[in-house]
């Protein structure tokens, strides 16, 4: 159904259109209700563009001054919340700002702003500026989170707890070692983030609709004014590329995967059965039915939101796949995932930081969960040091485990005679192997769980935070 009361002639691009748009098509097409998030970047980009056009002489200095003053007014209206979107006319942030500029300074001058420019380069510019700034904020949140990891790892280095594989008790580790194990995954995220920012922060402005700018615009000058690190070197690529969004989504999907695994560990460790940690009230909620409940909602949301992050990434990869060269309207579908993803990731890191900073640890419960069987490897290693091949010692230690299971006597309480009976090479100093602290301290090679190794990890991580 074509609506005749909204002639396309009102639209920025209305010149060649005679019929009206289906009202649903108007809504379907417009992006103003979400791309208004980029109002500031759009205005700064327009000012830089007008300044460069004044430099090349395509508009006069006087016209530039009027345009800049008008755009600053428009910016103020957005900031104050008084900008009035004209439904059905303000298709996107670019057209809305230009329409308002015309009202403020007159269409004769305002109409010159878009000389040689396309919304294709505008939206790419706006999005890259917005994302670059947002990623820098996310970087700061990630660093803050990792600083908490480092601080706690230093303070709580003496807590020894069970380390798990397959979620089965495996070997004793330091609590700090566990924190740093996740910490290094996040530190890699930080590394990747910094790298992605470099690729995001390149300027498409001056690329035109696809073929470039016909008025000799100074792209470097605009890029510098807008804080870009450099240019995108191909105008067609510059307007058609949303790999920078895809990379951000991929980056965040990986980060959220790490967040969800970290959260899952803490959910387990905070259960009554484990009780290694207790979540602060600020990050948990109660049950509407069961008065005794304290639920780790923060951690569950962190785990749950990872699905949303992966979804945005997969969804947008599909949107981009198979698109013909340069700009296609499909690319408008990159903005909402980008905005939502940035919020999800940014909020998640801040919540994770809050959870960790306020988490109560219970070293007594960690210690109580240690089990002599977790020292079976140490028993095998003891015999290795006496010259017995490991394959053999593994078997001998296994027989000690079996005897302990059969007799119900904990492995560290088996008598010297019992052990000697299993293998004559056991000597009295075997008693020293049944010591969790010692077990941990034995793992002193770099990257292990001994105190010196953990301290070295802390040092390495501090250096990564810069
Ligand atoms: N709102 C559009 C977007 O986000 C702006 C670019 C429009 N370009 C065009 N050729 N229709 O992609």
- Whether the per-residue pLDDT at 314 is higher than 50: the answer is yes
Ligand 1 centroid to residue 250 C-alpha, Å = 23
Specify the pLDDT at position 20: 83
Ligand 1 pocket test, candidate residues 92, 122, 242, most atoms within 8 A of CB: 92
Q: Is 339 in the pocket of ligand 1 (CB under 6 A)?
A: no
Q: Write down how long the chain is.
A: 466
Residue 8: per-residue pLDDT: 64
Mean pLDDT of the 389-394 span: 95
Best probe residue, ligand 1, of 14, 120, 241, 339 (max atoms within 8 Å of C-beta): 120
Does ligand 1 lie within 6 Å of residue 332's CB atom? yes
Q: Is the CB of 331 under 6 A from ligand 1?
A: yes
Higher pLDDT: 408 or 293? It is 408
Whether pLDDT at 291 is above 50: yes
C-alpha 73 to ligand 1 mean position (Å): 24
> Residue 214, class by beta-carbon neighbours within 10 Å (0-12 exposed, 13-18 middle, 19+ buried)?
exposed
What whole-number percentage of the chain has pLDDT above 70? 97
- Would you please indicate which residues are annotated as catalytic (active-site) residues? 166, 287
Entry pTM: 0.94
Task: Pick the residue whose CA is nearest to atom 10 on ligand 1.
Answer: 120
Whether the pLDDT of residue 3 is over 90: the answer is no
Residue 44 φ/ψ, nearest 5 degrees:
-60, -40
Centre of ligand 1 to C-alpha 407, Å, is 76
Pocket test for ligand 1, best of 123, 210, 337 (most atoms within 8 A of CB): 123
State the angle between helix axes of 335-358 and 297-320 in degrees (0 to 180), rounded to the nearest 10: 160
Residue-wise burial string across 170-207, b where 16 or more C-beta atoms lie within 10 A, e elsewhere: ebbbbbbbbbbbbbbbbbebbeebeebbeebbbbbbbb
Give 459's pLDDT tier (boundaries 50, 70, 90). very high
Q: Ligand 1: does its nearest atom lie under 6 Å from the Cβ of 95?
A: no
Q: How far is Cα 344 from Cα 162, in angstroms, rounded to an integer?
A: 32
Q: For residue 234, what pLDDT band results from cuts at 50, 70 and 90?
A: very high
Q: What is the pLDDT of residues 12-25, one digit of tens each?
A: 666 677 678 889 99
Which has the closest alpha carbon to 420: 428, 412, 432?
428
What are the tokens at 71? 């755009």
Identify the pLDDT of residue 466: 84
Q: How far apart are CA 427 and CA 60, in angstroms?
A: 95
* Mean predicted lDDT score pLDDT of the chain: 95
Which one, of 256, 31, 54, lies nearest residue 127 by Cα?
A: 31
Crossing angle of helices 243-269 and 175-200, in 10° steps, is 170
Taking phi over 0 as left and psi of -120 to 50 as alpha, with beta for the rest, 275 belongs to: left
- 397 in Cβ contact with 378 (< 8 Å): no
Nearest CA to ligand 1 atom 12: 332
The answer to whether the CB of 253 is under 6 A from ligand 1 is no
Answer whether 338 contacts ligand 1 (Cβ < 6 A): no
Confidence of residue 9 (pLDDT cuts 50, 70, 90): low
């Amino acid at each position: 159904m074509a609506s005749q009361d909204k002639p396309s002639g009102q639209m920025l691009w209305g010149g060649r259109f005679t019929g009206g748009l289906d009202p649903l098509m108007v809504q379907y097409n417009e992006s103003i209700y979400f791309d208004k998030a980029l109002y500031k970047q759009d205005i700064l980009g327009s000012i830089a563009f007008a300044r460069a056009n004044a430099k090349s002489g395509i508009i006069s200095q006087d016209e530039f001054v009027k345009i800049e003053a008008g755009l600053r007014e428009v910016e103020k209206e957005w900031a104050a919340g008084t900008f009035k979107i004209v439904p059905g006319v303000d298709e996107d942030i670019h057209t809305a700002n230009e329409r308002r500029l015309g009202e403020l300074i007159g269409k004769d001058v305002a109409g010159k702003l878009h000389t040689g420019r396309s919304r294709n380069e505008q939206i790419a510019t706006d999005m890259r500026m917005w994302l670059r700034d947002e990623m820098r904020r996310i970087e700061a949140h990630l660093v803050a989170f990792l600083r908490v990891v480092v601080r706690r790892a230093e303070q709580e280095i003496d807590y020894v707890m069970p380390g798990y594989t397959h979620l089965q008790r495996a070997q004793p580790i330091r609590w700090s070692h566990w924190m740093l194990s996740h910490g290094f995954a996040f530190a890699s995220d930080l590394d990747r983030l910094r790298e992605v920012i470099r690729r995001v922060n390149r300027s498409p402005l001056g690329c035109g609709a696809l073929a470039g700018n016909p008025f000799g615009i100074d792209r470097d000058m605009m890029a510098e004014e807008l804080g870009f690190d450099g240019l995108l070197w191909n105008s067609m690529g510059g307007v058609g590329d949303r790999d920078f969004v895809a990379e951000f989504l991929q980056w965040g999907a990986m980060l959220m995967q790490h967040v969800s695994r970290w959260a899952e560990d803490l959910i387990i460790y905070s259960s009554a059965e484990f009780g290694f940690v207790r979540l602060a009230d600020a990050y948990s909620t109660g049950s509407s039915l069961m008065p005794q409940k304290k639920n780790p909602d923060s951690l569950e949301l962190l785990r749950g939101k990872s699905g949303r992050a992966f979804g945005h990434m997969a969804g947008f990869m599909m949107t981009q796949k198979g698109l013909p060269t340069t700009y296609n309207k499909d690319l408008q579908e990159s903005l909402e995932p980008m905005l939502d993803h940035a919020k999800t990731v940014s909020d998640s890191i801040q919540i994770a930081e809050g959870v960790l900073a306020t988490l109560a640890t219970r070293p007594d419960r960690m210690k109580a969960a240690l089990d002599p069987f977790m020292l079976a490897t140490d028993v095998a290693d003891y015999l290795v040091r006496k010259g017995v091949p490991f394959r053999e010692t593994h078997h001998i230690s296994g027989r000690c485990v079996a005897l302990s299971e059969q007799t119900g006597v904990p492995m560290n309480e088996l008598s010297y005679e019992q052990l000697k009976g299993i293998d004559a090479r056991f000597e009295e100093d075997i008693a020293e192997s049944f010591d969790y602290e010692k077990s941990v301290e034995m793992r002193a090679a770099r990257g292990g769980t001994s105190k010196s190794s953990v301290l070295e990890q802390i040092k390495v991580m501090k250096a990564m935070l810069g």
